[in-house]
Amino acid sequence: MSPKNVIFKKTCKDKSVGVFMGKRDFVDRVDSVDPVDGVILIDPEALAGRKVFVTLSCTFRYGRDDMDVMGIAFRRELYLATRQVYPPLQDRDKAVHTRVQAKLLRKLGNNAYPFFFEFPDNLPCSVALQPGPHDVGKQCAVEFEIKAFSAESQDAKVRKRSTVKLMLRKVQYAPEGQEVAPSVEITKDFVMSDKPLHVQATLDKELYYHGEPIKVHVNVTNDSNKNIKNIILSVDQVANVVLYSNDNYSKCVDIEESGDSVSAGAKLQKVYTLLPLLANNRERRGIALDGKLKHEDTNLASSSVVKEGVLKEVMGIMVSYKVMVKLIVGGEVGLEVPFRLMHPKPDAGIVEMEEEMVFEEFKRSYLKGIVGGDDDEEEGNVSGGDDMTPREK
């Protein structure tokens, strides 16, 4: 059986405009970002002389729309670019098209027109703060969206039934190679003790993939006269909302209370294993997640990697991780070891396949009965590969 490429398809209510895209995840490689490309299918009769435009936007949302106070929205538009698709501003056949665009244009016919955007290098990746179990409405998040609409002009009032929106994600994958394995040590002196307590914590590498166990090598030399009653290890996620308030949210996403003790004058060498997973933190408000497309699962947010020279203040939400090692000695003796948590780079060969296309069509009718479902929500189902045009009702 030949490989299939999924094409994402969504049509506005009045059938005047439909969007077709070969992918919804766009990779940020720090020095470059995948361009956003797709095809718009129009119905000239339904357009009735109106023009068609496409916008790519990046929005940072830090409050629900219904919480707007005195006309001030709890969101900020970080980026907005607009292209006129129809009538075309250049000859369609003379333009350079991607492989997916070229195949879609051949299949969809003369009423299909391509669009193309390039991300600037100073935009954040898709990330969101997990809402609490009883929170409703939009969550604090960095979101990307493609919007196609028909109107008399770019600045004219746009009818909702003539608009179609498709959420996108900007993602980062782990870079090639590994940095030096992180190691941190501390020496603690105590009053009334001639000799100190020495603790060293070392990870076996600096970069871990989501779902991969983290091994922490702990070496304790307790030359003091104090008894260590317990050793507690945890993974802390630090989400820094840098755009509007520079708030820091530090959340423990995995913990082990070992119960290990080290008496005065003794030593301990032991390897502990931690495994930070979203599955164990689903009810916890404020944990940073990788941006998700509606009705799909996601994971803990990946560590942020920023291009040198880019201001961190415009990056929305910055995410980092550290292993915390705490020794209970009356009070606490602690140290922290930073590391990165990311996705491995996928096999690039799969992306280049250009065989049979399968269309995932987004239909609002599937949202009946879903709490909060509206015209901006998305639900997908896979339809046959030969059904290339919007179905008439």
Task: Name the residue range of residue 67's domain.
Answer: 6-173+346-371
Q: 34-52 pLDDT, tens per residue?
A: 889 999 999 888 888 889 9
Looking at the domain assignment, is residue 134 inside a domain?
Answer: yes
Give the number of domains in the chain. Answer: 2
**Diameter over CA atoms, the chain:** 90
Looking at the domain assignment, is residue 390 inside a domain?
Answer: no
Could you tell me which residue, 253 or 178, shows the higher pLDDT?
A: 253
Mean pLDDT of 260-270: 93
- The reply to whether 333 and 361 lie within a common domain is no
Looking at the domain assignment, is residue 361 inside a domain?
Answer: yes
Q: What is residue 381's predicted lDDT score, i.e. its pLDDT?
A: 31
Strand partners, 362: 10, 380
CATH number for position 44:
2.60.40.840
Q: What is the pTM of this model?
A: 0.78
- The reply to whether 155 and 106 lie within a common domain is yes
- The reply to whether 123 and 205 lie within a common domain is no
Looking at the domain assignment, is residue 54 inside a domain?
Answer: yes
Percent of the chain with pLDDT over 90: 34
Mean pLDDT computed over every residue of the chain: 80
- The reply to whether 136 and 13 lie within a common domain is yes
Q: What is residue 350's predicted lDDT score, i.e. its pLDDT?
A: 41
- The reply to whether 338 and 194 lie within a common domain is yes
- The reply to whether 209 and 327 lie within a common domain is yes
User: In the structure, what pLDDT confidence band is assigned to residue 73 with cuts at 50, 70 and 90?
Assistant: low
CATH number for position 338:
2.60.40.640
Looking at the domain assignment, is residue 264 inside a domain?
Answer: yes
CB 15, CB 364: distance < 8 Å:
no
- End position of a domain, from candidates 342, 362, 379: 342
- The reply to whether 201 and 326 lie within a common domain is yes
- The reply to whether 350 and 334 lie within a common domain is no
Q: What is residue 60's predicted lDDT score, i.e. its pLDDT?
A: 86
User: In the structure, what pLDDT confidence band is assigned to residue 33 with cuts at 50, 70 and 90?
Assistant: confident
Could you tell me which residue, 90 or 387, shows the higher pLDDT?
A: 90
Mean pLDDT of 213-238: 94
Q: What is residue 27's predicted lDDT score, i.e. its pLDDT?
A: 85
Looking at the domain assignment, is residue 260 inside a domain?
Answer: yes
- The reply to whether 288 and 364 lie within a common domain is no
